[in-house]
Amino acid sequence: MIKKALTFFLLSTLLISCNKMTINPPMLIEGEQELDQNQKIILSGDFKAAAHPTSGKAEIIEEDGIKKLKFSNFKTDSGPDLRVYLAEDNKASNFIEISNKVKNGTLIYSLPTGINLEKQKYVLIWCKLFKVNFGTAVLNTPTA
């Protein structure tokens, strides 16, 4: 009886731990939205393809002191284990994982505090499983 209970416990623990949890899922935006007066774009860059076709725009938006990462008209190939990273280069040096959910379209990710946007200004669409960069946007101060 104890052996059956222990076996059941171990199997249920394994099944529960195998469920993939989404970290920081994006908020999907239908169509383009205008910035309201409390929002401002502090950094922006266009995606360039790396190992796979990737396009669109990445922007860091600040609203009431809170920074968010916005993708506009974003498109990339699907792949296994894709992530959104902010890194110091296009090789994922000193990266921070923003999300383990990548979607095409116009969307917004919340950003954690403590990101150094002067150093971590590369937005990467990264395949963690194969350590491959699908595409990169380098964030710079937008020109007026």
Looking at residue 92, the DSSP 8-state letter turns out to be -
Tell me how many domains the chain contains.
1
Residue 27 to residue 110: CA distance in whole angstroms: 9
What is the model's pLDDT at position 113?
87
**In terms of C-beta density within 10 A (0-12 exposed, 13-18 middle, 19 or more buried), how is residue 52 classed?**
middle
Three-state SS sequence of 26-51: CEEECCCCCCCCCEEEEEEEEEEECC
User: What tens digit of pLDDT does each residue of 5-28 get?
Assistant: 545 444 444 334 334 577 888 887
Whether 1 maps to a domain, the answer reads: no
C-alpha dihedral, 140 to 56 to 114 to 111, nearest 10°: 140
User: What tens digit of pLDDT does each residue of 66-101 get?
Assistant: 999 999 999 999 999 999 999 999 999 999 999 999
Whether 89 maps to a domain, the answer reads: yes
Whether 51 maps to a domain, the answer reads: yes
Q: Name the residue among 41, 103, 97 with its Cα closest to residue 74.
A: 103
Whether 11 maps to a domain, the answer reads: no
How would you list the strands of the sheet with 122-127, edge to edge?
Answer: 27-29, 105-110, 66-76, 54-63, 39-49, 132-138, 122-127, 82-87, 96-99
Q: Could you tell me the residue range of the domain that residue 90 belongs to?
A: 23-138
Whether 36 maps to a domain, the answer reads: yes
Whether 60 maps to a domain, the answer reads: yes
What is the model's pLDDT at position 1?
64
* Six-digit token string for 30: 């239908």
Whether 143 maps to a domain, the answer reads: no
What is the model's pLDDT at position 20?
57
pLDDT band, residue 116 (cuts 50/70/90): very high
Whether 6 maps to a domain, the answer reads: no
* Six-digit token string for 85: 């990273």
